[in-house]
Amino acid sequence: MRPSFMGIGIKSSVYEVKNNTDKFIGIISAKTKIAYNVLPGEHLFMVVSENADFMDANVEAGKIYYVLVSPRMGAWKTRFSLIPIHSDPAAKYSLASSQFSDWNKSTVFVDQLDSAREWYNNHAASVAQKRARYMKEWNAKPAAVRAGKALLAHDGIARAEQ
C-alpha cells in the first residue's frame, strides 16, 4: 500500500524477484494498494522508480501481509522503499497502530490493467538494469540490516480475522 501523497505525480512499479528475473506485480500510485497472492515460503520483492529497493519476506499460507511503498526524495525524482508492517504492537510500523488503520482505510485497491502490463513490457530492460545495479547494494548489506527490513511469517493476519 502507498498511503502517502508525497511524490503524487510519480508512480512506482512492484515486482517479485525470482532467479534474477522480475515478475511484474503492478504499478502503484498515491493512495492505492495492490493485492498479490504468493505461495508460502521465502520471497524477494522489489519496488522500482529512480532506484530499486528490496524486501525479503517469509510468508505462511492463509495469511494476509501488508507492506508500505514509502516515498522519499531522490536525486531527480521520488525514490521508494518497501517497509514491512509488523504484527508486533511495539514496532515502528505495526498492524496494531491507528496509523495502519488509517492507511488501510485511505487506500484503494487497483487492478492492473493492460496499460500497466504494456508499460512493463516497454520498460523491462530498464527495470532489469536497476535490479542488477541495486541488488548488488542490497546483497552487500549486513545480514542484520536486511533482517531489519524483512516481513516475517508471524506478521501476517489470518484471513478469518479480516
Which pLDDT score, from 0 to 100, does residue 18 have? 94
8 Å CB contact between 134 and 54: yes
Tell me the pairing of strands 32-33 and 67-73: unpaired
Is residue 16 included in any domain, yes or no?
yes
pLDDT digits (tens, 9 = 90+) for 26-66: 999 999 999 999 999 999 999 998 899 999 999 999 999 99
Is residue 84 included in any domain, yes or no?
yes
Residue 128's domain spans which residues? 12-155
Is residue 73 included in any domain, yes or no?
yes
Say what the pTM is.
0.93
Please count the structural domains in the chain. Answer: 1
Is residue 1 included in any domain, yes or no?
no
Is residue 33 included in any domain, yes or no?
yes
Is residue 4 included in any domain, yes or no?
no
Q: Which three cell numbers stand for residue 55?
A: 524486501
pLDDT tier at 74 (50, 70, 90 boundaries)?
low
Is residue 129 included in any domain, yes or no?
yes
Is residue 126 included in any domain, yes or no?
yes
* Res. 71: pLDDT tops 90: no
Spatial distance between the Cα atoms of 118 and 68, rounded to a whole number of angstroms: 25
